[in-house]
Amino acid sequence: MKTSSSAVHPSLKLDRRVTTSSVIGTVIEWYEFYVYGTMAALVLGQLFFPSGDPIVESLSAFAAFAVGFLARPIGAAFFGHFGDRIGRKKMLVYSLVGMGAATFAIGILPTYATIGVAAPILLVLCRLIQGFSIGGEWGGAMLMSVEHAPEGRKNFAGSLVQVGSPAGLVLATIVVALVNMMPEDAFLSWGWRLPFLISAVLVIVGLFIRLKTHESPEFEKVRDEGERVKVPLLKTFTSAPLQVLTGIGLTLAPFVFFYFLTTFLLTFGVNVLQFDSQLLLWSVALAAGLEIITMPLAGLIADKYGRDRIFIIGAISLLLIAFPVIFLLVTNPGNPLILILVMIGAMTIVHPLTYALLSTMFSDLFPTNIRYTGVSLAFQFGGVVGGFTPLILTAFLTSDASSVLIAGYIAFLSLLTVLAGISTAVIGAKRRRGEIAEEVVLEGSVR
């Protein structure tokens, strides 16, 4: 797949139904995902892992949060295999149903006070189902949007899918913030369940839209020409292992920054930096709300000036701000202006330069007939690192050098993303010159 760096042609229109389906579907998926992350920081540790120590409870809740990420590569392999074999659309329907069912189940789970140790076990099981389902969501939604888009509009189409993440976060944060305003007794007894239960309505809306879309034309071309691969997972690891590793590297900086700002900071900010929980929630909502605007702008800029160039600039920027961000927060505890400055600067302005372009960066790494598998595996393995970020950073709080460790961890992963961005640019250039085959047609192909 070629990625154009030329100016956008106004006459090149996106398939509105497909793009809308992809965006709304990912908004719902990420809403369900972020509701758990936010509630883990606020209340799930107390309800499901009671110990009397807020840090220990947070560690336990974040451990359950991280466990869900372990299932994501398994889901990526499953959905990727069948997405490359039978089509993108069907697997997107199944992923949405699985994620919605698990999220709704969390909303009706009895707590530790009611059924004891069975409560955290059931919670972890729901997280595993969530992780498995989301393992196939992003890759399929991204491919449906990008593979339908014309050349010169692919970065913009991909960035619209990425809007699902901040939009889902805004929705989740607003809902959680509203229920968090309830009297404490009501919130702890039943109010915390509402954000999870609301997901059922969202899933019904998402399914209605998603079922009306049509299959990716690039997949249909591969299917019609008999170039589907029998075992896409095996072919991905045997023919494109470097691309998988490179794809993982692409996700590290955008993931670690996002989870630092939206999940870990809710614990770090309240317990260490003396920020009010409501201030933290609304600042996250503000920054993510603005990112809904800046994400597509990053895609438009990439279509005009070159995707690889913009991505690498974004990754370098994340590397450079790692230590200043931590320094500002630690030296200005409880300062709302500093918090908003950090949120908007890091999340709204810099973060989209990488995250918005992951769709086409990943697409350029893999040929069409193993693309669903390749992009899903790379994205979800990277997600494992991102998912463990709150747990790792919370563990750093036990050290006297916690600020340096936190900043150093973020900076190191950002450096890896810079290197991965450069590697992707090289791989894409080779494919465009014909040095890498556009399709993997080997002895295991379906003819």
Tokens 């000036």 map to which residue? 305
pLDDT at 445: 38
Mean pLDDT across the chain: 83
Residue 29 to residue 372: CA distance in whole angstroms: 18
What are the sequence ranges of the domains in the chain? 16-446
Residue 67 to residue 337: CA distance in whole angstroms: 34
pLDDT at 308: 92
- Read off the pLDDT of residues 388-438 as tens digits, 9 standing for 90 and up: 888 888 888 888 888 999 999 999 999 999 999 998 888 777 766 665 555
- The angle, 0 to 180 degrees and rounded to 10, between the axes of the packed helices 54-70 and 118-148 is 50
pLDDT at 5: 41
- Model confidence at 267, pLDDT cuts 50, 70, 90, reads confident
Residue 428 to residue 420: CA distance in whole angstroms: 12
* CB-based contact 406:434 (threshold 8 Å): no
Tokens 């070629």 map to which residue? 2
**Least confident segment among 6-15, 106-115, 161-170, 215-224:** 6-15
Please tell me the pTM assigned to this model.
0.78
Residue 141, pLDDT above cutoff 90: no
Sign of CA dihedral 336, 327, 177, 188: negative
**Least confident segment among 18-27, 70-79, 245-254:** 18-27
pLDDT at 249: 95
- The angle, 0 to 180 degrees and rounded to 10, between the axes of the packed helices 118-148 and 16-39 is 160
Tokens 């790494």 map to which residue? 365
Residue 61, pLDDT above cutoff 60: yes
Higher-scoring residue by pLDDT: 437, 264: 264
Structure tokens at 252: 């590290």
Residue 372 to residue 365: CA distance in whole angstroms: 11
Count of beta carbons in the 10 Å neighbourhood of residue 220:
14
In terms of CATH architecture, what is 16-446?
Answer: Up-down Bundle (1.20)
Judging by DSSP bridges, how do beta strands 445-446 and 228-229 pair with one another? antiparallel
* CB-based contact 107:179 (threshold 8 Å): no
* Residue from 257, 240, 238, 236 nearest 314 by CA: 257
pLDDT at 7: 43
Distances in whole angstroms, Cα of residue 95 to Cα of each of 29, 30, 341: 9, 12, 36
Higher-scoring residue by pLDDT: 314, 445: 314
Residue 419 to residue 412: CA distance in whole angstroms: 11
- Read off the pLDDT of residues 211-238 as tens digits, 9 standing for 90 and up: 777 776 767 777 777 667 787 888 888 8
Name the most confidently modeled range: 5-9, 114-118, 138-142, 281-285: 114-118
**Least confident segment among 226-235, 281-290, 341-350:** 226-235
Residue 98, pLDDT above cutoff 50: yes
Which amino acid is present at 182? Answer: M
How much of the chain exceeds pLDDT 90, in percent? 24
pLDDT at 425: 87
pLDDT at 442: 40
pLDDT at 211: 78
Burial status of residue 194 (CB atoms within 10 A of its CB: 0-12, 13-18, 19 or more): middle
* Residue from 61, 18, 28, 30 nearest 43 by CA: 61
* Residue from 364, 383, 389 nearest 311 by CA: 364
- Read off the pLDDT of residues 190-214 as tens digits, 9 standing for 90 and up: 999 999 998 888 888 878 877 777 7
Average pLDDT over residues 9-25: 68
The answer for residues whose C-beta is within 8 angstroms of residue 118's C-beta and 6 or more apart is 110
SS (H, E, C) the chain: CCCCCCCCCCCCCCCHHHHHHHHHHHHHHHHHHHHHHHHHHHHHHHHHCCCCCHHHHHHHHHHHHHHHHHCHHHHHHHHHHHHHHCCHHHHHHHHHHHHHHHHHHHHHCCCHHHHCCHHHHHHHHHHHHHHHHHHHHHHHHHHHHHHHCCCCCHHHHHHHHHCHHHHHHHHHHHHHHHHHCCCHHHHHHCHHHHHHHCHHHHHHHHHHHHCCCCCCHHHHHHHHCCCEECCHHHHHHHHCHHHHHHHHHHHHHHHHHHHHHHHHHHHHHHHCCCCCHHHHHHHHHHHHHHHHHHHHHHHHHHHHHCHHHHHHHHHHHHHHHHHHHHHHHHHCCCCHHHHHHHHHHHHHHHCHHHHCCHHHHHHCCCCHHHHHHHHHHHHHHHHHHHHHHHHHHHHHCCCCCHHHHHHHHHHHHHHHHHHHHHHHHHHHHHHHCCCCCCCCCCCCEEC
- Read off the pLDDT of residues 292-338 as tens digits, 9 standing for 90 and up: 999 999 999 998 898 899 999 999 999 999 999 999 998 988 889 99
